Amino acid sequence: MICVIIRAQLGACMTLKLGIIGAGRIGRVHADTLTTRVAGATVWAIADIHAPSAQAAASEFGIPAHTDDPAALFELPELDAIAICSSTDTHTHFIKMAARAGKHIFCEKPIAHDLAEIDAALATVAAAGVQLQIGFNRRFDANHIRLKRAIDNGEIGAPQLLHIISRDPAPPPIEYIAVSGGLMMDMMIHDFDMCRFLLGEVVEVFAMGDCMVDPAIGADGDIDTAKVMLRFENGVIGSIENSRQAVYGYDQRVEVFGSQGAASSGNRHANAVTISDGGSVRRDLPMNFFMDRYRDSYAAEMAAFVAAIANDQPVPVNGDDGRAPVVMAKAGLRSLRENRPVRLAEIDGAKA
Amino acid sequence: MICVIIRAQLGACMTLKLGIIGAGRIGRVHADTLTTRVAGATVWAIADIHAPSAQAAASEFGIPAHTDDPAALFELPELDAIAICSSTDTHTHFIKMAARAGKHIFCEKPIAHDLAEIDAALATVAAAGVQLQIGFNRRFDANHIRLKRAIDNGEIGAPQLLHIISRDPAPPPIEYIAVSGGLMMDMMIHDFDMCRFLLGEVVEVFAMGDCMVDPAIGADGDIDTAKVMLRFENGVIGSIENSRQAVYGYDQRVEVFGSQGAASSGNRHANAVTISDGGSVRRDLPMNFFMDRYRDSYAAEMAAFVAAIANDQPVPVNGDDGRAPVVMAKAGLRSLRENRPVRLAEIDGAKA
Amino acid sequence: MICVIIRAQLGACMTLKLGIIGAGRIGRVHADTLTTRVAGATVWAIADIHAPSAQAAASEFGIPAHTDDPAALFELPELDAIAICSSTDTHTHFIKMAARAGKHIFCEKPIAHDLAEIDAALATVAAAGVQLQIGFNRRFDANHIRLKRAIDNGEIGAPQLLHIISRDPAPPPIEYIAVSGGLMMDMMIHDFDMCRFLLGEVVEVFAMGDCMVDPAIGADGDIDTAKVMLRFENGVIGSIENSRQAVYGYDQRVEVFGSQGAASSGNRHANAVTISDGGSVRRDLPMNFFMDRYRDSYAAEMAAFVAAIANDQPVPVNGDDGRAPVVMAKAGLRSLRENRPVRLAEIDGAKA
Amino acid sequence: MICVIIRAQLGACMTLKLGIIGAGRIGRVHADTLTTRVAGATVWAIADIHAPSAQAAASEFGIPAHTDDPAALFELPELDAIAICSSTDTHTHFIKMAARAGKHIFCEKPIAHDLAEIDAALATVAAAGVQLQIGFNRRFDANHIRLKRAIDNGEIGAPQLLHIISRDPAPPPIEYIAVSGGLMMDMMIHDFDMCRFLLGEVVEVFAMGDCMVDPAIGADGDIDTAKVMLRFENGVIGSIENSRQAVYGYDQRVEVFGSQGAASSGNRHANAVTISDGGSVRRDLPMNFFMDRYRDSYAAEMAAFVAAIANDQPVPVNGDDGRAPVVMAKAGLRSLRENRPVRLAEIDGAKA
């Protein structure tokens, strides 16, 4: 005798239904993750203003519905939540629409470049009583979690110094940079978030930066290489290094030094094989980019979002966590322009 | 407008349907892997003579059908393939039934302890014209694949020496050992396969072993600690170390030394964080056991099985690959008993 | 038949004779190095205003003559060179005396805290036509030399970013700090020199620092923890981290990142043994302090000094190399006071 | 006032005077070490039947006397001790002469290839009441000492498995191999000693070996690649790997596995710099050969010899320690010839 379980019935009562807006690179990462690696969630629909992208993603990931009209998602009563993976300039618009439609929201970073715009979106979210999680996926990475645990458990005593290295294997397309807000807003924003995740609030920033990788980036008014120094509320002195191009791959390391020791993270490699030959003792390059390096963290952040909504608990990275790094990026940009340390209070009247 | 894709229709023509026999530890690993990480496959039914185990697995992994009668699976016309994850003494029985039912077969290692029994099963498989893949998952691990590539690409010249370290974090239950065939047949069998995967056929084996971990294992006639030396057909001299208990976790390392260099694999760790304090410079223990360490390799072996069946290509680890390590284990056992090197031809009349 | 070689005669014509001023910690390091590890040199006399120190060092290292009057050394016609290892405030006085006596000079860092005083001493040296080498021993360390070679050979392309970590295991005595010029002048001065050794001249400095280790250091007006950012003439952006107290020992690491790669140095350990147990995978702490870590570099810097004098070649670290890091330290101190980036030209009228 | 110390007088009463027999590679290592790095010792004379070698060494290392007649050394009343660094076939002859002359003896390994010859020499030493230290320098290496400490301190619990990797960068001249006793007697003898140093006595040996590096070595009847398995009195199972040629340099690693953990030593490198570029993450090769890798251990073994003689304490590596590895090498050679495990008692009647 064979017993057949009607899975659809079981599933109906236990699964969070999501709609995804944006079927570009990061939208597809979340679609893949949600369909294969996150229990308790299903992607019910995907929208992209470029219809073929929506259709292709729907087909590839087995998503039942697709559309070229993102607004259509907000009208689907089945949807519990919306994941906003479209370009930054659309984020607050969709956040507000989703909030008004009573959908919980996952939104990619940064929320927006303008603080007033962010504040308006956050107010709408608050008024609607829905939850908003921001896509700072690195908080869910095993290395960074271990560092935080070392700090929180007192394994290194009182933190005193922080150094973050964050280098991409290659610059994004110039067109992307033109709208992304530049290095501080689209790349270092992750490191600003990491500062807060590990050690709390920052009060002052000093930045040096330049265009060393590609003159086209500089022609666009942006930098591609930067170092930033930060003073934390708790006295820690930090620094961040960014480069748009590390020829050896994605370089993601953090070191926290404290009164009783230091905790340092190394890069992750696809294998742990060492080759010794007549020339050197060598290993293969680290994982090439965030799709490999942070693959597990994307699954973990979505699992955390789904669990928070399902259990009616606060999401682990909320709207304020999305706003604060934008303030830091703005301070960094002003420091670059004026060649002086800039206090966050200068940027953020609210905190002044 | 929202387009709804009828996924079931699409899926029907592209998905391999599997039945799993055995809902114990390894059966559940494959059920999990097949349902979440292998594209193009679905688990249609699971059987276990312990009915609650089958039911629990079906529920957990969303498998539509479950039964306490493994034989029932062979009568399901929907099933393309059977994964045999039951105890070793049932393997050849189910292999033969599956072959006669025209199902492709994935079978866990070892096929059996008796060569005649293995040969009979392989003959049935051959006669039925189905494919049989043996569960030597380590061949699909990134470290071991990289080692093989180093060898095959000539990165280390002509191989001369091999050393395999393979230690479990803790011994299995005594009841398991009583039926498993012991250390050589249930544990070192993986390393015997690794020898063949990396460097080809072995001609002679010498073993030393003892009971150092748990007297109960020795009381049962088995050993828990062993070192084996092997001579390969191509002249390479190898060795394998096994221990049932490494207190620091799963220890899985291989080194191949050749005329132009050496390739060594290290253990895998869940994070790459180093803590320096007043006592030491340290990192967390390696991944604790095969469920973590070889998680990706289980997905890759199943993906390879599914792809081979779907594309009508030979499976990557066939029945002969399942038989050969059993011969090696038998030679090792005889060497242990007689304290002398034993040629594989002494065990395997067919090859004499 | 046994042939007896009269070594004294041979030696007389090939050995550089040195006098050492200062029999404290660093004077003893050089005495030890010169008597046991540097060929072609002999320590002929040692002076210390604390007579028992001079006598003890003479006895321990087999130095024929000792005195409590440093000035007496300048009158010994046998002496080819003087190594000045006394406290910083005596350096320029002895440099000028030695130069006027026609002795070549090795002087510990920093030359002095006052630029005018340094310039006067360097002028005297120039007028006398003797050579002056400054004790920036780290330039002779295998790690730092390898980094420089990686840069100079183009192994990492065009340098873009530099990060130096330099932490002592424990602070020096408060009395020492009171006269040393503080962290920037006695400790970071080595790192300022390392910047110039690896990547050339620096044009601007920004510093953050605080007293985190010992309030007594802060009470004295100094800091014990600092991070400095530097802009190089060639566009490289650098940073330096200093702490007076790393509980895990002497932490000396440098990373240079460039357009074609990165070169990173790790700490040196007295052994290369890893212990894995139930708690962690760990190794012993790095070498505890400069006496161990830089032992070989002290021998190499003295060998280089001796060789330069013997061969009438320029010394590898000259008076200008001694002056430049003092300018950098002064810029760093001003930056700390005024919380703004300071250009070296503000400090050094000569370069303005 | 300058006080002149008459160093010769002081030295005369506190310094051990040695004569060295053999001015070849190892004789020169000891001459260099004793003259520059060992306090309390002086090399008074050096002998080599090839007169120019003796003269050159005397000149280079400042040795007052040299001769082409080794026997002449035994008649020098000034000499406290003799270091025998000549070819193996002369060792026991010189040991006996030195003992009869009342000189303490340092002798390179192996003492001899013939056990009866060794026993006669040891008897003469015993009768003369002098001390004999054998040149197993690796016992004085920081890595090996740390491993032994890990074992002795219980850091890894009860030892169960041992693996020694010992590979030379290149084979010695064929003429050397012809008289050296071959791989087991001139190379693996160090590893046999390491077994005893770390874990005590061995009772049985099984060897596989072949000629894989240079056919000329095989033509000479020797092997250049070998793996040996050993059973210790305390139950530990060990293995040793030897190759005459590792293209990446001197490979010297040991791992001991026990009930509570494992201790592994890695190779030593001249620098700790890692280069990451577009191809790999790599570091320079390990130290190339024993002159670099074991440089410190040569100094330490001589310091220990000098201290033992000066303090009238037993030397740390005595005649029995020199004899035992010869027995092991003989067992290994017989095992190779007869392809079976050989008990040491079969070789050594005395122990049977």
Tell me which of C280, C284, C285, C287 to substitute to probe the interface with B (most B C-beta atoms closer than 10 Å): C280
Indicate the SS3 state at residue A237. strand
Nearest 5 degrees, angle CA C126-CA C130-CA C135?
A: 95
Beta bridge partners of C226: C209, C242
Q: Is A349 on the interface with D (CB under 8 A)?
A: no
How many Cα atoms are found within 13 Å in the side-chain-facing hemisphere of A75?
8
Phi, psi angles (nearest 5°) of residue A276: -110, 125
Q: How far is A323 from chain C (nearest CA, A)?
A: 26
To the nearest whole number, what is the mean pLDDT of chain C?
A: 94
Q: How far is C336 from chain A (nearest CA, A)?
A: 12
Which residue in A has a C-alpha nearest to residue C205's C-alpha? A208
Please give the CATH superfamily to which domain C7-130 belongs. Answer: NAD(P)-binding Rossmann-like Domain (3.40.50.720)
DSSP states of A13-56: TT-EEEEEE--SHHHHHHHHHHHHT-TTEEEEEEE-SSHHHHHH
Q: What is the pLDDT of residues C176-210, one digit of tens each?
A: 888 889 999 999 999 999 999 999 999 999 999 99
β-strand pairing of A16-21 with A41-47: parallel
Q: Is A277 on the interface with D (CB under 8 A)?
A: yes
β-strand pairing of D132-134 with C65-67: unpaired
Residue type, B122: L
CATH number of A138-289+319-351: 3.30.360.10
Q: How far is C140 from chain D (nearest CA, A)?
A: 12
Out of C277, C283, C284, name the one closest to residue B248 (CB).
C277
Contact by Cβ (8 Å): B250, B239? no
Out of D247, D281, D283, name the one closest to residue A248 (CB).
D281
The two three-digit tokens of residue D142, written as one number: 């920081």
- Residue D279: list chain A partners with CB under 8 A: 282, 285
How many A-C residue pairs are in contact by the CB < 8 A criterion?
Answer: 97
Q: Is D176 on the interface with A (CB under 8 A)?
A: no
β-strand pairing of D81-84 with D104-107: parallel
Integer Cα distance of C63 and C76 in angstroms: 14
Q: What is the pLDDT of residues C248-297, one digit of tens each?
A: 999 999 999 999 999 999 999 999 999 999 999 999 999 998 889 999 99
- Residue D247: list chain B partners with CB under 8 A: 157, 259-261
State residue D178's pLDDT score: 85
Tell me which of C237, C245, C254, C335 to substitute to probe the interface with A (most A C-beta atoms closer than 10 Å): C237
State residue B328's pLDDT score: 98
**Tokens 């299903």, residue located:** A42
Q: How far is CA D211 from the centre of its chain?
A: 24
ipTM above 0.85, yes or no: yes
Q: Where are the beta strands (DSSP E) in B178-224?
A: 202-210
Which has the closest alpha carbon to C112: C138, C132, C131, C137? C132
State residue A351's pLDDT score: 52
- Residue C262: list chain D partners with CB under 8 A: 275-277
pLDDT of C307 above 70: yes
Q: What is the pLDDT of residues C211-251, one digit of tens each?
A: 999 999 999 899 999 999 999 999 999 999 999 999 999 99
State residue B6's pLDDT score: 37
Q: Is A158 on the interface with C (CB under 8 A)?
A: yes
Q: What is the pLDDT of residues B126-153, one digit of tens each?
A: 999 999 999 999 999 999 999 999 999 9
Domain residue spans in chain B? 7-130, 138-288+319-351
Q: How confident is the model at residue C8 (pLDDT cuts 50, 70, 90)?
A: very low
Integer Cα distance of B82 and B16 in angstroms: 11
Integer Cα distance of C263 and D224 in angstroms: 37
Q: Is A272 on the interface with D (CB under 8 A)?
A: no
The two three-digit tokens of residue C165, written as one number: 């970590």
Residue type, D279: G
- Residue B285: list chain C partners with CB under 8 A: 276, 278-281
Beta bridge partners of B162: B238, B256
pLDDT of B7 above 60: no
Tell me which of A282, A283, A284, A287 to substitute to probe the interface with D (most D C-beta atoms closer than 10 Å): A282
Which has the closest alpha carbon to B244: B180, B334, B335? B180
Q: What is the pLDDT of residues B274-294, one digit of tens each?
A: 999 999 999 999 999 888 999
Q: Is D241 on the interface with B (CB under 8 A)?
A: yes
Integer Cα distance of C91 and C137 in angstroms: 17
- Is the Cα dihedral C278, B164, D325, D265 positive or negative? negative
Conformation bin of residue A252: beta by default, left when phi > 0, alpha when psi is -120 to 50:
beta
Out of B10, B64, B273, name the one closest to residue A263 (CB).
B273
Which has the closest alpha carbon to C265: C133, C109, C121, C149? C149
Integer Cα distance of B262 and C249 in angstroms: 33
Taking an 8 Å cut-off on Cβ atoms, the answer to whether C247 and B278 are in contact is yes
Integer Cα distance of A108 and A130 in angstroms: 17
Neighbours of A125 (CB within 10 A): 22
Q: What is the pLDDT of residues B171-191, one digit of tens each?
A: 999 998 888 899 999 999 999
Tell me which of B230, B240, B242, B247 to substitute to probe the interface with D (most D C-beta atoms closer than 10 Å): B247
Question: What is the pTM for the complete model shown?
Answer: 0.94
Q: How far is B208 from chain C (nearest CA, A)?
A: 24
Contact by Cβ (8 Å): D153, D285? no
Express as a percent the part of chain C with pLDDT over 70: 95
DSSP states of D92-144: HHHHHHHHHTT-EEEEPSPS-S-HHHHHHHHHHHHHHT--EEE--GGGGSHHH
Tell me which of C276, C285, C294 to substitute to probe the interface with D (most D C-beta atoms closer than 10 Å): C276
Q: Is C271 on the interface with B (CB under 8 A)?
A: no
For residues C308, C310, C313 and C318, what is the CA-based torsion angle, rounded to 10 degrees? Answer: 40
Which has the closest alpha carbon to D213: D204, D226, D200? D226
- Residue D246: list chain A partners with CB under 8 A: 276
Q: Would you write out chain D's pLDDT as a tens digit for each of its 352 residues?
A: 455 443 333 333 468 999 999 999 999 999 999 988 887 899 999 999 999 999 999 999 989 999 999 999 999 999 999 999 999 999 999 999 999 999 999 999 999 999 999 999 999 999 999 999 999 999 999 999 999 999 999 999 999 999 999 999 999 999 988 888 999 999 999 999 999 999 999 999 999 999 999 999 999 899 999 999 999 999 999 999 999 999 999 999 999 999 999 999 999 999 999 999 999 999 999 999 888 999 999 999 999 999 999 999 999 999 999 999 999 999 999 999 999 999 999 999 765 4
Top CATH class of C138-293+319-351 equals: alpha beta
The two three-digit tokens of residue D234, written as one number: 């305390």
Taking an 8 Å cut-off on Cβ atoms, the answer to whether D282 and A284 are in contact is no
**Tokens 């120190």, residue located:** C53
Taking an 8 Å cut-off on Cβ atoms, the answer to whether A281 and D285 are in contact is yes
Integer Cα distance of D169 and D174 in angstroms: 15
Q: Helix, strand, coil % (nearest 5) of chain A?
A: 45, 25, 30
Q: How far is C182 from chain D (nearest CA, A)?
A: 30
Integer Cα distance of D287 and D296 in angstroms: 13
Phi, psi angles (nearest 5°) of residue C268: -100, 140
Residues 6+ apart with CB under 8 A from C276: B246, B248, B251, B285, C282, D261, D262, D263, D264
Which residue in D has a C-alpha nearest to residue A274's C-alpha? D282
DSSP state for residue D262 in the 8-state scheme: E
- What CATH architecture does domain B138-288+319-351 belong to? 2-Layer Sandwich (3.30)
State residue D351's pLDDT score: 52
Q: How far is A135 from chain B (nearest CA, A)?
A: 21
Q: Is C166 on the interface with A (CB under 8 A)?
A: no
Q: Would you write out chain A's pLDDT as a tens digit for each of its 352 residues?
A: 455 443 333 333 468 999 999 999 999 999 999 988 888 899 999 999 999 999 999 999 989 999 999 999 999 999 999 999 999 999 999 999 999 999 999 999 999 999 999 999 999 999 999 999 999 999 999 999 999 999 999 999 999 999 999 999 999 999 988 888 999 999 999 999 999 999 999 999 999 999 999 999 999 899 999 999 999 999 999 999 999 999 999 999 999 999 999 999 999 999 999 999 999 999 999 999 888 999 999 999 999 999 999 999 999 999 999 999 999 999 999 999 999 999 999 999 765 4
State residue D179's pLDDT score: 86
Which has the closest alpha carbon to A7: B76, B16, B63, B73? B63
Taking an 8 Å cut-off on Cβ atoms, the answer to whether D237 and B226 are in contact is yes
Taking an 8 Å cut-off on Cβ atoms, the answer to whether A243 and C210 are in contact is no
Taking an 8 Å cut-off on Cβ atoms, the answer to whether C241 and A212 are in contact is no
Residues 6+ apart with CB under 8 A from D161: B225, B227, B241, B243, D236, D237, D238, D255, D256, D257
The two three-digit tokens of residue C306, written as one number: 């001796």
State residue D266's pLDDT score: 96
Touching C (3+ Cβ pairs <8 A), the chains are A, B, D
Write the secondary structure of B121-156 as one string of H (helix), E (strand) and C (coil).
HHHHHHHHCCCEEECCHHHHCHHHHHHHHHHHCCCC
Q: How confident is the model at residue B307 (pLDDT cuts 50, 70, 90)?
A: very high
State residue A40's pLDDT score: 87
Q: How far is A76 from chain C (nearest CA, A)?
A: 50
Q: Is D58 on the interface with C (CB under 8 A)?
A: yes
Question: Omega before A110 cis (within 30°)?
Answer: yes
Q: What is the pLDDT of residues B99-120, one digit of tens each?
A: 999 999 999 999 999 999 999 9
State residue C103's pLDDT score: 98
State residue D6's pLDDT score: 37
Contact by Cβ (8 Å): C278, D262? no
Integer Cα distance of B342 and B348 in angstroms: 11
Nearest 5 degrees, angle CA C116-CA C119-CA C123?
A: 140
Phi, psi angles (nearest 5°) of residue B243: -140, 140
State residue A86's pLDDT score: 96
Q: Is C234 on the interface with A (CB under 8 A)?
A: no
Taking an 8 Å cut-off on Cβ atoms, the answer to whether A274 and B261 are in contact is no
Touching A (3+ Cβ pairs <8 A), the chains are B, C, D
Q: Is D158 on the interface with B (CB under 8 A)?
A: yes
Task: List the 76-105 stretch of C: residues with Cβ below 8 A of D.
Answer: 76
- Residue B167: list chain D partners with CB under 8 A: 257
Contact by Cβ (8 Å): C242, C188? yes
Contact by Cβ (8 Å): B140, B304? yes
- Residue A279: list chain D partners with CB under 8 A: 282, 285
pLDDT of B2 above 60: no
pLDDT of B219 above 80: yes
